[in-house]
Every structure is written in structure tokens, then in C-alpha cells.
Homo-oligomer: A and B are copies of this chain.
Amino acid sequence: MLGLMQDWPMTVDRIIDHAATWHGTVPLVERAVDGFRSAGWADVRSRARRLSGALLAAGIRPGDRVATMAWNGIAHIEAWFGIMGIGAVCHTLNPRLFADQIVWIVNHAADRILIVDATLYPVIAPLRARMPTLERILVIAADTGALPDGTTDYDAFVADGDNGAAWGQFDENSACGLCYTSGTTGNPKGVLYSHRSNYLHTLMTLQADIMGLSSRDVVLPIVPMFHANAWGLVFSAPAVGAQMVLPGPRLDGASVAELIERHGVTFSAAVPTVWLALLQYLKASGRRPDTLRRVAIGGSACPAAIIRDFNDLYGVEVVHLWGMTETSPVGSCGAMTPALAALPHAEQLPWRLKQGRPALGIDMRLVADDGTALPHDGRTVGHLLVRGPAVVRAYLNDPTPILDEDGWFDTGDIATIDGQGFMQITDRAKDVIKSGGEWISSIEIENIVVGHPQVAVAAVIGIPHPKWDERPLLIVQPIPGRTPAAADLLAHLDGRIARWWMPDRAVFLSAIPLGATGKIDKKALRAMAETGAFDEVQADFTASQNNSGPS
């Protein structure tokens, strides 16, 4: 017996329709190359529909891929809804990827049209001949300079579009967005979102214990739209009729502080490095982000100093998120329980540093190597599995099964879950260091070393060891101008980790290699270790402390 409720497909065109109808004059403000510009949600929808009409006229059909390579701006948001509204697939390209990766991805996705910021066109220009599926390139804000050869002005393309194109009214399981994971091993993998998954992810993240946005919020998404959908904010802000402030390419501390002040930002989202820069700027300048109430932090573990400074200096709550491209991306959030919320902020910190609990709409479990469930005791380390309507089922054009028989997806993260349900990532499975049959958490060591005043970035990798299988190597990028002694770093770690977790050696690099999403590239570090790059470098720890195995 089926229920008798309406068949109302959850397609994302309904999100922008809702914003235009009920919050039509609520503004989006963008810092463009040539100054600030703004539009209301009704304007965004109107131009998105014109783009839809123009794409249809250009032969784009449901399921066809249209790529974007753009910073967070109004035209980029229009483009998303214009592409998705007719059932085409919006493929966000990360301009920070290596050229070969961009070419590989565009060809793998068979993108037919690319919409690109004029300032990013130089990334694309030298690659065009290698991307034969691209029939057309639309350049945003081309009026700030000459239109490159063989491209079309985006605004002119939109202006020619019919604004009466039919929107939505297709299966909610239709493909909607495409984002490739940065792929630290093997080729990049395409995650193909559906309208249903994006719509549900929007509702999931709107819960009070995740982002809890309201129509009174002014939302500044610093996390780029090409980085896991800007954590869904391009959908969740119009869903509630929030204002948006779009930063364009300038994400430094001073620029972000100016946006917050000038536009009354209440909520923002970014990776830790952005917040470190903002806090540094605020402290140095004495400016205060008075309107800011909450900042979402994800992408990598959030250092304690960020959480503490935001709270103690500015009264801003940090919303600590965990997720991945494959989870749309939000998977869990460190919202406090009633008991924790009653503690002083400093005493809440151990839980605020964890990645938190899943909200309704995502299932999560911790398992041993053999798949058996592990206890939620805060100590037992295991593989983190997830399941849900906004979790990937398979990668694009890749027959490899990625779910187990019960539908669980292995995140590749290693974690604990404590008695209050707080999950904490201790490592990536591929980065975990196996020493004497036990696991050493590289992330835990890194987080402590980064707390040393002379350290900018720290990485710990496992290097082969004849007796212990692997042993940790500490790689440190000092703050410019500082020269920390390895012995100091060791002393800094002493007593904070088990003695057998102690790295046997420390090496110093002026720049630790980062991947396209700003995360430490451990694959590159391991390659450097394998080729002997660290062999001749400083190694002044007193050689293995006779504590190199688990006690």
C-alpha cells in the first residue's frame, strides 16, 4: 500500500524558484575584478533561465556535461542553476589542478561547453587542443579585456537565451553535478550528484546542529564552488533566502575581513588555512568581525588555536565539519551535547576538536579490518564507513564496486568514536603508520607539532623499518625565518603521545608540497622518501629510543 502524498520530484530548480518567489530581492553581493556588484535571488533565477534557454539552443540536452571553472561569484551561481535546471550536468573544474589532470578530467567527463572566468582562461588556453569534446568556451566578464580567440562572451550568450525554457519536471534521480576527487592515488574519480542527493543534502545541512542557516544570515562561502560544492552553500543559502557575499579570487585575511565588515557577514565557511590568515590579520590590525556569529571549518582537522581564538577574542562559534566529495560533502559536525554545552568553552575543546556526530540523513559506522563493528569507546581505531542518500554509489564510468554488500562506503579514513558519539579522524587509511603491528596516528602527531611556535606545517609519514615494519618520520616546514631544533620538537611531543609513537627522525623543508585542494601531499613526500631525498638531511634525534614498538 502506497501513501497518497504528492509526487513532487526534488530537483534543484525548485530551490532557486523558492528563493526567487519568497526572497526575490534579498541580495547577493560579489567582489568582482572591477569592484562590487550585486543582484537579487529573482535576478539570479531570471538569468539562470536565460542561460538554460541559450544552452538548449546550443544543443545541450539532459545529461550533457557543461563545465565551469570560476571563482565564487554571481555568474557562477547563475550558471549552476541554468545548467542543472534543464537536466544538464554541471561539472566544476578546479583551476589549481595540474594541467594534465584538467585535460584528463575534461576528456573523461566529455564536457561539451566550458564556462570560465576571464581571469582563469589562461589556465585553459594552452590545453584547448587536447580537449576535443569542448565545443564552446563561454568567458565570464570578458568585457574587462579583449575576448580571447575562439571564445564566446558569457553575458552575450545569456542575453540571447529564451527565458521560457521548461525547468525541472524530470526524475529526481537525474544527474545534476559532477566533481572529481583530487585522487591522491590513481586517476581522479568523478562523483556524479543527483538532484535528489543535492536537494536532500541541502535539507540535511540546514539542521541546527549542522549549519542552521536562516533568512537572517549573510553567508560568505570562501570554500570554492569547485571544492565539493562549496559545502552545499550555493543550495542552502537560497533555500532559506539568506544573503550571500561572494569573494571572487581574493581570500587573504585583509580581503576577507573587509567583506565581513562591509556586508555584515554572519556565517562563513572555509578550510583552516583561510581562518589562520584571517585571525592573524584581525589580531595584527585590531579589526573585529562584529557581525560574524559562526564559521564552518572543514577540509582538514581544525587546530585548537582557531577554535579558541574565534571564541575567546571575537565570540564566534566554530562549526567543525567533516566530509568528503563523496558525501556531497557534509558527513558530520561537532555540535555540542547539552552536557558539553554547559561546560566552559575551554573544557569543551577536546570535543570541539573532534569531527563530531552525523546528522539525520547519513549513517556512520566504525569497523575492524575484517568488517566487524567496533565499540564507541573513544579509543578503538577503525575504518570509517558511511551510507546515505547523499553518499556516492559508484564513480563515473568506473565499474569498480565501491560499496560493501550492505551498501556501506569506506571513506578511507581511520577514526575513533567516543561514548557520546563524537567521531575523530586519526588518519587516512593510506597514511596510517603501522609499527610493530599497531597503528600510529600521523594526524595526531602533526597536530601537536603544529602547535610549536616555530612550526608552520608538519607532516608525518611512515618509512620502512626492518624490525617494526614502519616507523614515523617527521617533516617540518618552519615559520619563515625560524629554525626550530629537532630536539625542541621532540621535547614538545614528549608526554603528549605514547613513547613508541615518537618519530625517529625530523627533517626540515622550506615548503611541504600541497595538493590542489591545499592538503599536504603525502604521496609526494613518500616518493621523496623512497628516492632518498631525506637520507642526507638533518637527522638529529638520538637514534631510536629503544621504544620503537608498542608497549
Chain A residues near B (Cβ < 8 Å): 1-8, 10, 14-15, 17-18, 21-23, 62-63, 89, 171, 173-176, 191-197, 200, 202-204, 206-209, 212-216, 239-240, 243, 328, 335-338, 341, 357-361, 363, 387-396, 403, 407, 409, 421
Contacts and interface: CB of A to CB of B under 8 A. Distances in A.
A18 B360 contact: yes
Contact of A7 (B176, B195, B393): B393
A184 B433 CA distance: 70
Contacts of A359: 240
Contacts of A14: 360, 363
Given A1-B89, A4-B396, A214-B335, 12 more contacts: A3-B173, A3-B194, A4-B192, A5-B196, A5-B389, A6-B388, A6-B403, A8-B387, A14-B360, A18-B360, A212-B214, A215-B335
A284 to B, nearest CB: 31
Given A207-B206, A216-B336, A240-B360, A197 B22 contact: no
A11 to B, nearest CB: 11
Contacts of A192: 1, 3-5
A394 B4 contact: yes
Contacts of A63: 1
A208 B237 CA distance: 12
B393 A4 contact: yes
Contacts of A202: 360
B209 A212 contact: no
Contact of A407 (B6, B206, B335): B6
A215 B337 contact: yes
A194 B7 CA distance: 11
A327 to B, nearest CB: 10
A193 B338 contact: no
5 closest A-B pairs by beta carbon, nearest first, are A3-B194, A1-B63, A208-B214, A203-B203, A5-B197
7 contacts: A3-B192, A6-B388, A6-B390, A8-B391, A22-B421, A215-B337, A239-B360
> Which among A10, A212, A214, A360 has the greatest number of chain B C-beta atoms within 10 A?
A360
Contact of A1 (B62, B216, B337, B390): B62
Contacts of A206: 203, 206-208, 360
A204 B196 CA distance: 15
Given A239-B360, A360-B239, A393 B5 contact: yes
A389 B2 contact: no
A192 B7 CA distance: 13
A193 B504 CA distance: 63
A6 B387 contact: yes
A4 B191 contact: yes
Contacts of A341: 216
B6 A389 contact: yes
Given A203-B203, A208-B206, A215-B209, A176 B3 contact: yes
> Which among A195, A216, A240, A387 has the greatest number of chain B C-beta atoms within 10 A?
A216
A22 B423 CA distance: 11
A6 B175 contact: no
Contacts of A421: 21-23
A197 to B, nearest CB: 4
Contacts of A216: 336-338, 341
A406 B73 CA distance: 34
A217 to B, nearest CB: 8
A203 B2 contact: no
Contacts of A360: 14-15, 18, 202-203, 206, 239-240
A209 B214 contact: yes
Contacts of A363: 14, 17-18
Given A207-B240, A208-B214, A173 B2 contact: yes
Nearest to A203: B203
A209 to B, nearest CB: 5
Nearest to A337: B215
B204 A208 contact: no
A2 B393 CA distance: 12
A360 B213 CA distance: 12
Contacts of A204: 203
Contact of A392 (B4, B15, B243, B396): B4
Nearest to A216: B338
B396 A203 contact: no
A418 to B, nearest CB: 12
Contacts of A176: 3
A23 to B, nearest CB: 7
Nearest to A21: B421
Contact of A361 (B4, B194, B203, B390): B203
Contacts of A193: 3, 5
Contact of A10 (B191, B357, B389): B389
A208 B5 CA distance: 25
Given A4-B393, A173-B3, A387-B6, A240 B208 contact: yes
Contacts of A7: 389, 393
